Amino acid sequence: MRLRKATPEDAPACVKILRDWIDETPWMPMLHSRASMEAFWHARLTDCAAWVAEIEAQVAGFVIRDGAFITALYLAADARGQGLGARLLHAATTGEAEPQLWVFQANEHALRFYQRHGFRELRRTDGDNEEGLPDILLTRPGLDPGPPPPRSDEK
């Protein structure tokens, strides 16, 4: 597994990971076509700080930071539970004094993940987002992310 800076050419792989997650998440609506999602994520990968995790030269996850906000962190289903999320989060928060992000209230797995990594709740909404789903604003105030987590293939 390796991390690298994402490029706009990674958009199709990132969209596949995101669409697969939406498909397996019963409460998450699919709001956009594949083509419109690829155009949107191509722009995000152009305009924002972004990293991908690769396993055997295939994109297995990605994270995007826009200023202090982590706007996306998704992993392919078969890449979960291997420390990739922690490594991507570390890459995106290094050098950022108070990173913030939104997480859907229904996404309990993600909420626990971020809490394990020092994020704390700032506020909740009843769904004033595009999806119309209740969400939570999280922040990790004043923490130095420290050294990167160990690679899953390092013992």
- pLDDT tens figures, 65-107: 999 999 999 999 999 999 999 999 999 999 888 999 999 999 9
Please check whether residue 87 is in contact with residue 3, taking contact to mean a CB–CB distance below 8 angstroms.
yes
In a domain, 63, yes or no: yes
In a domain, 147, yes or no: no
Residue with the bigger pLDDT between 148 and 18: it is 18
pLDDT at 15 over 60: yes
Q: Is the CA virtual torsion 77, 60, 153, 87 positive or negative?
A: negative
E strand or H helix that includes residue 15: helix 11-24
Torsion of CA 120, 145, 72, 51, to 10 degrees: 180
Q: What is the CATH number of the domain that holds 106?
A: 3.40.630.30
Rounded CA-CA distance 127/124 in Å is 9
Count the domains in the chain: 1
Number of Cβ atoms within 10 Å of the Cβ of 18: 17
Question: What residues make up the domain containing 66?
Answer: 2-139
- pLDDT tens figures, 98-144: 999 999 999 999 999 999 999 999 999 999 999 999 999 999 987 55
In a domain, 74, yes or no: yes
In a domain, 105, yes or no: yes
- pLDDT tens figures, 23-54: 999 999 999 999 999 999 999 999 999 999 99
